[in-house]
């Protein structure tokens, strides 16, 4: 609970009114936390993985068949061992960011979309490896999106290697750290190998965060559990992403689903910290509202966002770095709904101060990615960030003397030195939002502008190209892994 | 027992199913069976109309998925009492469909939704549960004389199991005997085509439409 006070003081700066959001009191947090622990003690988690069960048994959990009931003491021990700050590095080994409660919010595109929506198309298509190159270049060139992600699943690669191959285009063209994840037990090992080709100290100075997603309610599949254990052994950052569908795989109430969510993440933290004390774990989530009419999983529903804001609050109390799926939409096109839902999430991400926010670019229940939407969402983040930045109250910003002069003189501020100095500091000048006078009333003008910007970035993209030797080594590795000839692999990336 | 009383019981059964009261439905249907009411009549006058009504209420936005699923469970409870009483040539439903989540995958919500919607549409659904080995799908389909095999996969890795089932069918020379429909979050139309599945259902509702199409019943409902 000591973290709480610390949090308060670093969030609030005197004389700078700025919004922030914490939706749970300490008393409310304890009510949820204790209920989750009771759930772990009384019901436990189902784990379809012998090693996972063994690790919990060693820690002192009561294992019966494939069910492990976890006593409070073990949960508390694990929380004690979990690092409170996680430092991540860029591809080339330079320190990039610190993940800790009250710290900065780093946005990353949503992950593992099965389709991609092209500009002006209404039918999403299967993604190819080349698309990941474009996504990597776009993200590398956007200052508001600080992390890369393995955002789509390329179908021009054999299915067994569609997880690991996604690292190749990102590592080749961008130095930003990557949010990623494996689809099988071997997949993770392959991905770690790829990272080790770049840097021997890939685990000491991690350039990637791996998502592991338990299956609600309170289950761990063999693969997910194995991924978590292997990550813990190498001490790579694991992002534990619980994903209750409120009303279907989680209780219909937000409190109930939150308790289940929390219990699932705690069970993952216990496993990771038992296998290797001090393993960096990020408390994550992708809760959704199960739509009772159509059976869809609405990640951008207000109820899901409320649950997310609540567990981000829990992380504040526990002092753990945290992650959320925010700044994305369930809409099928770039329309009113897409904008509304994305901004709602982006604001909540920034207001709650979540460390990693996955979402930009994503549509349709986290299954379709639009490159134009990455640009549009970058604008959304800039707008939300502007609100978050607040404003300064100081003699100079109060500007009484300037007002006195103008009000008794020329009656406008445009030619004041004060204006010239302050407007750039205080105003965000939009990149895409239409601020013109009425010239043309075409619908969705903003999307056309996003498209132009995409083309412009891709034409003149600054890419942080990997040095030749390492690139060749990576190509060699992935060629051997996938059975795709080296020259063909290079051609698939679109490299001349 | 008078005719009126039996009719009253049938009406009551219909309401119990519609309200998703599985215990109540089971009690009434047991009572009707004791009274030696023709099981076919129980199905035609109470169970099927109840499911049709549930479907209608959903269509007009009065029922949502929870009410539908509870009605389907009450239907199942009542049907299980009636089933042993039916003659072998009366399945009480239409074609039989085998459904399950593939090996290595323990996700069942989507699969359950599809099973429910198929039951509402009047099909005889055999649900094999989750983590079902590929061979088992084929064995059970043969055993039940199924027309369709439905394969659910929620993970990018377990999708390959869908292909495995089709490969087994081909190897055993059974491919023409069954239609295969696939679904699940990472599954796409292209994947279905790639592995040679007969259909892909984007969601539970589309799955029912595709099943109708596969059985040549399009437009019959």
pLDDT digit string (tens) for B103-143? 988 888 889 889 988 988 889 899 999 999 999 999 999 99
Instruction: Please indicate, yes or no, whether residues B66 and B104 belong to a single structural domain of this protein.
Output: no
Q: What is the ipTM of this complex?
A: 0.81
The per-residue pLDDT for A29 is: 97
Q: Which of B51, B85, B119 is the endpoint of a domain?
A: B85
Per-residue model confidence as pLDDT tens digits over B55-67: 889 889 999 999 9
Q: Number of helices (H) and strands (E) in chain B: give both, helices first.
A: 10, 5
Res B90: pLDDT: 61
Instruction: Say whether both B21 and B125 belong to one domain.
Output: no
Number of domain units in chain B: 2
Residues of chain A whose beta carbon is less than 8 angstroms from a beta carbon of chain B are 48, 112, 114-115, 126, 153, 155, 159-160, 162-163, 183-184, 187, 215, 219, 221-223, 245, 247-249, 290, 292-296, 367
Measured distance CA(B60)–CA(A483) in Å, rounded: 53
Task: Indicate the residue among B54, B85, B116 that finishes a domain.
Answer: B85
Same domain, B102 and B134: yes
Closest alpha carbon within chain A to B114: A295
Q: What is the rounded distance in angstroms from the CA atom of residue A104 to the CA atom of residue A242?
A: 22
Residues recorded for chain B: 221
B12 located within any domain: yes
Cis previous bond, A217, omega within 30: yes
- Verify that B192 and B146 share a domain, yes or no: yes
**B109 in the same domain as B196:** yes
B207 at the A interface (CB within 8 A)? no
The answer to whether residues B133 and B64 belong to one domain is no
Q: How many contiguous H segments (helices) and E segments (strands) does chain A have?
A: 18, 20
Largest distance between two CA atoms of chain B: 60
Could you tell me if B131 and B208 lie in one domain? yes
**Residue pointed to by tokens 């100290």:** A201
Question: What is the rounded CA–CA span in Å between residue A341 and residue A410?
Answer: 44
Range of the domain at B42: 3-85
- CB-based contact B156 A155, cutoff 8 Å: no
What pLDDT, on a 0 to 100 scale, did the predictor assign at position B92? 55
Residues 6+ apart with CB under 8 A from B23: B77
Sort strands A86-89 and A297-298 into parallel, antiparallel or unpaired.
unpaired
**In angstroms, rounded to a whole number, what is the distance separating the alpha carbons of residues B46 and A312?**
50
The answer to the question of residue B44 being in a domain is: yes
Q: Could you tell me the CATH number of the domain that includes residue B66?
A: 1.10.1240.10
Domain boundaries along the sequence of chain A: 1-390+444-496
Residue B147 maps to a domain: yes
**Which residues, including other chains, have CB under 8 Å from residue A467's CB and lie 6 or more apart?**
none
Transcribe A212-277 into DSSP letters: E--BTTTEE-HHHHHHHHHHHHHT--EEEEE--EETTTB-SSHHHHHHHHHHHHHHHHHHHHHHST
For residue B39, being part of any structural domain is answered with: yes
Disruptive mutation site among A151, A159, A224, A299 for chain B (greatest number of B CBs within 10 Å): A159
pLDDT (mean) for B19-48: 94
CATH number at residue B165: 3.40.50.280
pLDDT at B220 over 60: no
**CB distance B106 to A215 below 8 Å:** yes
A·B CB contacts under 8 A: 53
Distance from CA of A158 to the nearest CA of B (A): 11
User: In this complex, is the C-beta atom of B105 within 8 Å of any C-beta atom belonging to chain A?
Assistant: yes
Looking at every residue in chain B, the average pLDDT score rounds to 91
Angle between helical axes of A254-275 and A26-42 (0-180°, round to 10): 70
CATH topology of domain A1-390+444-496: TIM Barrel (3.20.20)
Give DSSP secondary structure letters for B71-107: HHHHHHHHHHHHGGGS-TT--SSSSEEEEEEBTT---
The last residue of one of the domains, among B21, B56, B85, is B85
Q: Write out residues in chain A with pLDDT < 70, as ranges.
A: 1-14, 496
Task: Kindly report the pTM of this predicted structure.
Answer: 0.90
Is residue B221 included in any domain, yes or no? no
């Amino acid at each position: 609970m000591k973290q709480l006070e610390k949090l308060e003081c670093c969030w609030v700066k005197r004389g700078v009114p700025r919004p922030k959001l914490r939706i749970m009191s300490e008393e409310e947090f304890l009510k949820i936390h204790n209920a989750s622990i009771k759930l772990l003690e009384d019901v436990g988690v189902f784990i379809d993985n012998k090693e996972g069960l063994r690790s919990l048994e060693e820690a002192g959990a009561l294992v019966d068949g494939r069910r492990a009931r976890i006593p409070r003491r073990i949960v508390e021990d694990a929380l004690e061992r979990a690092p409170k700050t996680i430092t991540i590095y860029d591809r080339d080994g330079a320190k990039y960011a610190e993940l800790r409660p009250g710290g900065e919010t780093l946005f990353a595109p949503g992950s593992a979309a099965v389709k991609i929506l092209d500009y002006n198309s209404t039918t999403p298509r299967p993604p190819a490896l080349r698309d990941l190159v474009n996504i990597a270049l776009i993200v590398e060139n956007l200052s508001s999106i600080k992390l890369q992600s393995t955002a789509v699943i390329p179908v021009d690669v054999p299915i067994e290697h569609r997880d690991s191959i996604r690292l190749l285009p990102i590592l080749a063209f961008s130095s930003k750290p990557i949010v990623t994840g494996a689809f099988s037990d071997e997949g993770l090992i392959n991905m770690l190998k790829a990272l080790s080709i770049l840097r021997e100290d890939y685990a000491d100075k991690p350039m990637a965060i791996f998502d592991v997603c338990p299956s609600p309610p309170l289950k761990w599949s063999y693969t997910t559990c194995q991924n978590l254990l292997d990550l813990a052994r190498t001490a790579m950052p694991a992002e534990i992403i619980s994903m209750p569908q409120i009303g279907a795989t989680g209780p219909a109430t937000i409190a109930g689903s939150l308790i289940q969510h929390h219990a699932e993440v705690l069970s993952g933290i216990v496993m990771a910290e038992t296998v290797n004390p001090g393993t960096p774990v990020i408390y994550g989530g992708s809760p959704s509202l199960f739509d009772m009419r159509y059976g869809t999983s609405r990640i951008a529903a207000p109820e899901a966002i409320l649950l997310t804001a609540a567990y981000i609050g829990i992380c504040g109390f526990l002092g753990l770095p945290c992650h959320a799926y925010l700044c994305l939409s369930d809409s099928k096109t770039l329309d009113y709904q897409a904008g509304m839902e994305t901004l709602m999430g982006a604001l909540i991400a920034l207001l709650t101060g979540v460390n990693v926010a996955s979402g930009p670019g994503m549509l349709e229940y986290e299954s379709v990615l639009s490159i134009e939407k990455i640009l549009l969402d970058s604008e959304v983040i800039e707008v939300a960030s502007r609100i978050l930045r607040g404003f300064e109250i100081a003699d100079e910003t109060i500007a009484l003397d300037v007002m006195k002069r103008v009000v008794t003189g020329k009656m406008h501020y445009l030619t004041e030195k004060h204006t010239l100095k302050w407007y750039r500091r205080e105003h965000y000048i939009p990149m895409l939002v239409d601020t013109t006078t009425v010239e043309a009333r075409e619908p969705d003008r903003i999307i056309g502008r996003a498209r132009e910007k995409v083309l412009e970035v891709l034409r003149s993209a600054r890419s942080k190209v990997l040095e030749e030797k390492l690139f060749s080594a990576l190509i060699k590795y992935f060629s051997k892994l996938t059975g795709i000839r080296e020259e063909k692999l290079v051609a698939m990336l679109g490299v001349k | 027992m008078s005719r009126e009383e039996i009719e009253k019981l049938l009406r009551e059964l219909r309401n119990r199913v519609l309200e998703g009261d599985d215990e109540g439905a089971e009690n009434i249907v047991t009572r009707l069976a004791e009274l030696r009411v023709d099981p076919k009549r129980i199905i035609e006058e109470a169970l099927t109309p109840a499911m049709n009504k549930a479907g209608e209420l959903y269509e007009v936005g009065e029922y949502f998925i929870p009410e539908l699923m509870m009605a389907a469970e009450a239907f199942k409870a009542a049907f299980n009492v009636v089933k042993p009483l039916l003659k072998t040539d009366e399945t009480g439903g239409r074609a039989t469909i085998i459904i399950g989540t593939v090996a290595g995958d323990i996700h069942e919500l989507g699969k359950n939704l599809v099973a429910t919607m198929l039951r509402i549409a009047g099909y005889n659904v055999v649900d094999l549960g989750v983590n079902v080995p590929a061979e088992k799908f084929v064995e059970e389909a043969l055993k039940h004389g199924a027309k369709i095999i439905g394969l659910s996969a929620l993970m990018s890795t377990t999708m390959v199991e869908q292909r495995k089932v089709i490969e087994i069918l081909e190897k055993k020379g059974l491919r023409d005997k069954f239609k295969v429909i696939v679904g699940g979050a990472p599954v796409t139309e292209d994947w279905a085509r790639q592995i040679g599945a007969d259909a892909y259902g984007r969601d539970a509702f589309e799955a029912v439409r595709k099943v109708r199409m596969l059985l040549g019943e399009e437009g019959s409902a």
